[in-house]
Amino acid sequence: MPWMALLMLLGVLALAPWWAAQQPFVLHMLVTACVLVVPAVGLNLMLGHGGLVSLGHMGFAGIGAYVAAVLMVDARWSFGGAVWAAMLAAGAAGGLISLLCFRFRGHFFMIVTLAFGLMLHAVMNNWDSVTRGAAGFAGIPRPTPVRWGDEVWSFGPLPHFYALALAMAVIAFALQYLVVNSNFGRSLAAIRQDERLARSRGVNTLLYKTAVFAIGTALAGMGGVLQVSFLRVAAPASFTMLESINMVLIVIIGGAGSLVGPALGALLYVALPELLRLSNEWRLVIFGVLLVLITLFAPKGLAGLCARAWRRVWPPQSQTPAGAKP
Amino acid sequence: MSYLRIQSLGKRYGGVVALDGVSLEIAGAGIYGLIGPNGAGKTTLFDCLAGTTAPDQGRVWLQDQDVTGWPAHRMARLGVARTFQECRILPEETCLDNVLFAAQPQGLGGNLLQMFTRGPGHRVAALDEAMRLLHLVRLQDHAHAPAAELSFGQRRLLEIVSTFMAQPEVLLLDEPASGVNPSLLQVLGDFVKTMMAERPRVMLLVEHNMAFVMDMAQDIIVMHQGQVLERGSPAQVQASAKVVEAYLG
Amino acid sequence: MTEALLEQVINGLMMGSVYVLVALGLVLIYGVMHVVNFAHGVLFTLGGYLGHFFFTQWWDNYWVATLLSMLSVGLVGYALERGVFRPLNGNLRNQVIASLGLILALENAVIALWGPNALQWKVASTEQLVSLGELRFSVHHLGIIVLTMAMITALGLFLKHTRFGTAIRATSQNQEAALVVGIPVQRVQWSTFALGSALAALGGCLVGPLFLVFPQMGDVPLVKGLAGILLGGMGSVPGAVVGGLILGVTESVSTLFLPTDYKDAIAFMVMVGILLFRPQGLWGQRVRGEE
């Protein structure tokens, strides 16, 4: 049943270039949402499913962004190749760094991920010869135009780039679905709920946690490439500690651990300033307060609230035979 | 050739000596009770056998393979399964999923591949057996309810069912009767006896409930202050003056 | 060469003192409530802004402004403890998430209210100079070191020799036992939170006149403070002091050998390096088993 809703939503989004034709800023917003949602899905896998709270996630998006920037601009690679390389670099970095981080627990783990995020940012900001430093890496191209027979599909125009962004977002969600509804996903869920128990059932928890961290950071890298190809510039300011915190916020408000959570969080994040007509700062104040309220009163986030509302409108068919727990 | 051999196992936590040279041989399948006053080292012994912790001294052999200090997940793959004193289950999963998880292959490589191949896999094959086991402990009605909704005694049953589901060769049950009311205790005892009759294997049972353990086990090992104090049949152990003194002295 | 070294050591002690103030607040709160308040940095920032506000709008006495700022931020800390952290007691992840939300809300509220640009806080002590041999430092520089040392001593005496200080220590060691003995744990918790917040505000007021008052001024001290308590050992007050000072001196001295751009990263690399060999920090205790 949720499949129907999902397909409808996808259809609406896919047709956006037509119904939003008169308001290009809507398409711009949707592209931004896609750019945010890809790393958010990665963080959702790590945090929501695996229970790993990483406060340095955008540092890995930065790795992907800058690897792609250097490859596309300095080495003239294609977008496709750059995406693979970016994901590989970000994923490998994430896997290795996570091995260090897993020596710590609880708060310590979070603080160490924060520290790594800051170290990565420092490199982006200061390794001028490669990253062009604080001024940013300009001149990043849109993906090269694709040829279909006689047609040439260029990614310059917004609707065309939107198609690419939407496709990448869908791929990220597909990957999330594959992970969650699999043995790997179930083992992750077990690790999140009770790591000692998972170990006693034969799960090599260190390997599994490293694997999900690597997958999550690879997705962050993918998001980074999409972002800098969209903006045509890579700047360290996009990958700071505050951006990593924004990412956590998107995942939590959307509903950590739910499949649609990242989408809800990202859409709210981009739509709120438009809906409320507020300055950037007040929007973020509201987000911050929203995050606090959600942790206090609705820990499952928007997805949890929607699920509750859904159940009120369409009560589920009872799956258990008579005599189920009241 | 003994099935399980423990030699001079030692373990200390800071200033506390939990195990002080424990040597033990388990010849073959059967239920072995492990009793002793608090602080005797019973749970620590389990921790060392199951790989939860590594001993400071001594060696452990499982069927002539030296498994000393192997981590928990390797011991589990070797067929050593345990329950916990505090009772651990997956609270967010349904009872059925809890049981099925115990039968799930856990190799990372295989599971990463399975994400994409998505074969029907173990869940279909194990479903009948899982439901049968849930029936045996009268939890079949809760099969699709989250485990968090169960009472404590029911969670103990779920934990034990899951442990058997993994088809282990060695079972370590840590105080399975504690916190369980008498009617559920009967169900638990019957379930264990049924499973052991279907397929005999080595089971070590730590318990404080004397009636329960004397009824279940044919061989009782008594521990005291980190060492093995006495070993024998239930009757012999109950009659032993040393044991009485250890508990009361 | 030794002169340059001495200069950096003193700079390091000064910055280290600021980190210590942040770290002390963090470690006191952690000890009593087992929560890391990531929003501590914005309390530092708020302290700086309020100090500047009181100084420019009410009474241009630096000490009064600082004191008022500490009181106000202490009140904010109390409100946060009652409203946010107490209800989430026991849920580590949600407490951390909530504190992240607070960072966002407070830091952006500051920007919305005072604007994104830095403010100047002109205080006399930053202009008066003192000579130490060939080197010259402002009174403010040295004052920070002296004041922090005095604070640490006062805090140490307070914790060791007063009833309330002992109550704080007892609650840090074992909350349940403290309750059983009749210690008003809830009161200990909110007052420690308020005290820790006030210390953060003090840090902001000390640093404001030196480096300008700007919205992100608390971000780096927060992370350095966190690094300091990790290095010193979670929950250890002397550890926090030593950790903060080591970090401050290390990063200042590192500027003699490495490009200053990487100064911030140095601190983290040192921290991660030491923690790899001693995960419990320099003073910390290894906790048995449980994760």
What is the C-alpha end-to-end distance of chain B, expressed in Å? 37
* Domain coordinates in residue numbering, chain A: 37-240
- Say yes or no to pLDDT of C288 above 60: no
Residue in chain B lying closest to C290 (CA): B52
Total length of chain B: 249
| Residue C245 resides in a domain | no
d(CA A266, CA A262): 6
pLDDT single digits (tens) C182-202: 888 888 999 999 999 999 999
Structure tokens at A164: 């690419």
Q: Is the pLDDT of residue A320 over 70?
A: no
Q: Is the pLDDT of residue A60 over 90?
A: yes
Region of residue A232 (phi > 0: left; psi between -120 and 50: alpha; otherwise: beta): left
The pLDDT of A153-174, averaged and rounded, is 89
Q: Do A288 and C102 touch (CB under 8 A)?
A: yes
- Mean pLDDT, chain A, rounded, equals 88
Residue C50 is predicted with a pLDDT of: 94
pLDDT score recorded for residue C94: 87
Residue B55 has a pLDDT of 93
In the predicted model, is pLDDT for residue C234 greater than 80? no
Least confident of A22-26, A200-204, B224-228: A22-26
Q: What angle do CA C56, C62, C64 make, to 5 degrees?
A: 95
Residue C133 touches partner B, C-beta closer than 8 Å: no
CATH number of B4-248: 3.40.50.300
- Contact between A319 and B90 using a beta-carbon 8 Å cutoff: no
User: Is A281 near chain C, with CB under 8 Å?
Assistant: yes
Contact A288 C223 (CB under 8 A): no
CA A292 to chain C, closest CA, distance in angstroms equals 5
The predicted pLDDT at position A164 comes to 92
Interface check C115 vs A, CB under 8 A: no
Q: Which chains does chain B touch, 3 or more C-beta pairs < 8 A?
A: A, C
Q: Which residues of chain B have pLDDT under 50?
A: none
pLDDT of the residue at B249: 57
Distance CA A104, CA B54 (A): 19
Count: domains in chain C: 1
Which one of A49, A176, A200 would you mutate to disrupt binding with B, by most B Cβ within 10 Å of its Cβ?
A: A200
- Name the band, by pLDDT with cuts 50, 70 and 90, for residue A278: low
**C272 to A112: CB separation less than 8 angstroms, yes or no:** yes
For residue A90, CA distances in Å to A93, A196, A208 come to 5, 29, 17
Q: Which of A197, A321, A325 sits opposite B90 (nearest CB)?
A: A197
Rounded Cα distance, A250 and A223, in Å: 14
**Separation in Å, CA B11 to CA A235, A308, C195:** 54, 50, 43
Contact B14 C289 (CB under 8 A): no
Neighbours of chain C (3+ CB pairs under 8 A): A, B
Contacts of A245 in chain C (CB under 8 A): 100, 103-104
Over 60: is that where the pLDDT of C287 sits? no
**Closest residue of B to C288, CA-based?**
B13
Q: Which of C234, C269, C279 sits opposite A103 (nearest CB)?
A: C279
Q: Max Cα separation, chain C?
A: 59
Is residue C288 within 8 angstroms of chain B, CB to CB? yes
Cβ–Cβ contact A291 with C under 8 A? yes
Which of A122, A252, A285 lies closest to C105 in CB terms?
A285
Whether C234 and A108 lie within 8 Å, measured CB to CB: yes
- What ipTM does this complex have? 0.92
Does C291 contact chain B (CB < 8 Å)?
Answer: no
Q: Which residues of C touch A55 (CB under 8 A)?
A: 100
The pair of structure tokens assigned to A274 is 């438009």
Q: Choose from A197, A207, A320 for mutation: most chain B CBs within 10 A.
A: A197
Residues in chain B closer than 8 A to C288 (CB atoms): 13-14
The pLDDT value given to residue B241? 83
For residue A17, the distance in angstroms to the closest alpha carbon of chain B comes to 32
Residue from A116, A123, A285, A286 whose CB has the most chain C CBs within 10 Å, to mutate: A285
- Which residue of chain B comes nearest to A318, CA vs CA? B144
Whether the CB of B84 is below 8 Å from some CB of chain A: the reply is yes
Which of A180, A201, A215 should one mutate to test binding to chain B, selecting the residue with the greatest count of B CBs within 10 A?
A201
The answer to whether residue C187 is domain-embedded is yes
Q: CA B116, B120, B125, B131 torsion: positive or negative? A: positive
Taking CA–CA distances from C220, the nearest residue in chain A reads A118
- Residue A232 carries which DSSP code? S
Answer whether A324 touches B (CB < 8 Å).
yes
Instruction: Please give, one letter per residue, the 3-state secondary structure of chain C.
Output: CHHHHHHHHHHHHHHHHHHHHHHHHHHHHHHHHCCCCCCHHHHHHHHHHHHHHHHHHCCCCHHHHHHHHHHHHHHHHHHHHHHHHCCCCCCHHHHHHHHHHHHHHHHHHHHHHHCCCCECCCCHHHCCEEEECCEEEEHHHHHHHHHHHHHHHHHHHHHHHCHHHHHHHHHHHCHHHHHHHCCCHHHHHHHHHHHHHHHHHHHHHHHHHHHCECCCCCHHHHHHHHHHHHHHCCCCHHHHHHHHHHHHHHHHHHCCCCCHHHHHHHHHHHHHHHHHHCCCCCCCCCCCCCC
Residue B73, chain A, CB below 8 Å: the answer is yes
Residue from C100, C222, C288 whose CB has the most chain A CBs within 10 Å, to mutate: C100
Neighbours of chain A (3+ CB pairs under 8 A): B, C
Chain A's closest residue to B46, CA to CA, is A200
Higher-confidence residue: A281 or C55? C55
Specify the pLDDT at position C285.
Answer: 61
Residue C169 lies in a domain: yes
Contact B141 A178 (CB under 8 A): no
Domain limits for position C204: 20-218
Cα C260 to chain centroid distance, Å, stands at 23
**Given an 8 Å threshold on Cβ–Cβ distance, is B108 in contact with A189?**
no
Q: Report the b/e string of A168-188 with b at 16+ CB within 10 A.
A: bbeebbebbeebbebbbbbbb
Query: Residue C192, CB half-sphere, CA atoms under 13 Å: how many?
Result: 32
Show residues of chain B in contact with A197, CB under 8 Å.
Answer: 84, 88-90
Distance from CA of C133 to the nearest CA of A (A): 35
Q: What is the pLDDT of residue A220?
A: 97
Residue C45: pLDDT band by 50, 70, 90 thresholds?
Answer: very high
Across C228-252, average pLDDT: 85
Give tens-digit pLDDT for C2-32. Answer: 788 888 888 899 999 999 999 999 999 988 8
Please give the Cα distance from C165 to A282 (Å, whole number). Answer: 40
Domain-embedded: residue C7: no
pLDDT value at position A326? 41
Report the pLDDT averaged over residues A209-229.
Answer: 96
Task: Give the closest-approach CA distance of C135 to chain A in angstroms.
Answer: 30
Residues from chain B contacting residue A193 (CB–CB below 8 Å): 90-93
Contact between chains at B141 and A182 (C-beta distance less than 8 A): no
Q: B20 vs chain A: nearest CA distance in angstroms?
A: 25
The tens digit of pLDDT for each residue in C108-134 reads: 899 889 988 888 888 877 778 888 777
| pTM to 2 decimal places | 0.89
Interchain CB distance below 8 Å, A325 and B142: yes
Q: Which pLDDT does position A322 carry in this prediction?
A: 44
Q: What proportion of chain A, given as a percentage, has pLDDT over 90?
A: 50
